[in-house]
Amino acid sequence: MKSKAAIIGSGNIGTDLMIKIMRTSEKLEMSVMVGIDPNSDGLARAKRLGVAITHEGIDGLIQMPEWDAIDVVFDATSAKAHHYNYDKIKAFPSKKVVDLTPASLGPFLIPPVNMDQNLDVPNVNMVTCGGQATIPMVAAVSRVAKVHYGEIVASIASKSAGPGTRANIDEFTETTAAAIEQVGGATKGKAIIILNPAEPPLVMRDTVFTLSEMANRDAIRESIHNMVAEVQKYVPGYSLHQEVQFEEIPADKPVFIEGVGKVSGLKTSILLQVVGAGHYLPEYAGNLDIMTSAALATGERMMG
Model pLDDT for residues 125-164, shown as the tens digit of each residue: 999 999 999 999 999 999 999 999 999 999 999 999 877 7
**Structural domain boundaries, residue 168:** 129-284
Same domain, 178 and 95: no
Residue 9, beta-bridge partner list: none
Same domain, 136 and 271: yes
Same domain, 228 and 138: yes
Same domain, 253 and 166: yes
Same domain, 146 and 82: no
Q: What are phi and psi of 5, to 5 degrees?
A: -120, 145
Give domain status of residue 138, yes or no: yes
> What percent of the chain has pLDDT above 70?
100
pLDDT band for position 86 (cuts 50, 70, 90): very high
Give domain status of residue 298, yes or no: no
The domain total for the chain is 2
Q: How many C-beta atoms lie closer than 10 Å to residue 97's C-beta?
A: 24
Mean pLDDT (the chain, rounded): 96
Residues 156-197: tens digit of each pLDDT: 999 998 777 788 788 899 999 999 999 999 999 999 999 999
Same domain, 175 and 256: yes
CA torsion through residues 155, 158, 163, 166, sign: positive
Give domain status of residue 114, yes or no: no
Same domain, 275 and 136: yes
Give domain status of residue 42, yes or no: yes
User: What pLDDT does residue 161 have?
Assistant: 87
Of 285, 304, 301, residue with least CA distance to 124: 301
CATH code for position 158: 3.30.360.10
How far lies 138's CA from each of 19, 51, 99, 130, 156, in Å?
30, 39, 22, 12, 20
Give domain status of residue 252, yes or no: yes
Same domain, 195 and 55: no
DSSP-H helix ranges across the chain: 12-24, 41-48, 57-63, 79-89, 111-114, 129-142, 163-167, 169-182, 217-232, 286-302
CA torsion through residues 82, 87, 90, 95, sign: negative
User: What pLDDT does residue 79 have?
Assistant: 87
DSSP 154-217: EEEEGGG--HHHHHTHHHHHHHHHHHHHHTT--SEEEEEEEEE--SSPPPEEEEEEEEES---H
CATH code for position 43: 3.40.50.720
Same domain, 156 and 233: yes
Looking at the annotation, which residues are catalytic?
129
Same domain, 186 and 82: no
Give domain status of residue 290, yes or no: no
Average pLDDT for 31-35? 98
Give domain status of residue 59, yes or no: yes
User: What pLDDT does residue 304 have?
Assistant: 85
Q: What are phi and psi of 213, to 5 degrees?
A: -60, 160
Residues 263-275: tens digit of each pLDDT: 999 999 999 999 9
Residues 212-268: tens digit of each pLDDT: 999 999 999 999 999 999 999 999 999 999 999 999 999 999 999 998 999 999 999
Give domain status of residue 64, yes or no: yes
Same domain, 143 and 207: yes
Same domain, 21 and 58: yes
pLDDT band for position 122 (cuts 50, 70, 90): very high
